[in-house]
Amino acid sequence: GILMIISFLLLIFVIIYGVILRYRRLKVSTPSFLVLMLVSVLVGYASVFTWFGKPHPVACAFQPWLLGLSAISLIAALCAKNIRIWRLFANRMSKTKMGDSALLGIWLVVMIPAVVILI
């Protein structure tokens, strides 16, 4: 419960200062992917509640979807951001620019197989 509240407050902070006001320190950290990671964390924390109560086929079916996809989404977003940093600093002389759409493409490439496996 407490970690969900902290994550939600961080999400509000990132939306206000990173997306709306576009502060430089948060803009460097790719606020759209920070929001994606925080939503993944919130879904992962919320997935714990599917383990409570009487076992039910619906609750048991949601467990891999909620926990698995949120963990893979978080790791995929971190990997996409690391690939961006690697591409920026691999060639110091060239001016390589990698936008959010390219990062979203990398994230989707990692997420699609996980969704296909769960289907």
| b/e per residue 51-70 (b: at least 16 CB within 10 A) | eeeeeeeeeeeeeebbbbbb
In total, how many domains does the chain have?
1
Cβ atoms of 43 and 70 closer than 8 Å: yes
Q: What is the pLDDT of residue 42?
A: 93
pLDDT in tens, 5-26: 999 999 999 999 888 888 888 7
Report the interhelical angle of 31-46 vs 100-118 (nearest 10°): 20
Residue range 65-107, pLDDT digits in tens: 888 899 999 999 999 989 888 888 887 777 777 788 888 899 8
CB 13 within 8 A of CB 55: no
pTM above 0.85, yes or no: no
Range of the domain at 18: 2-118
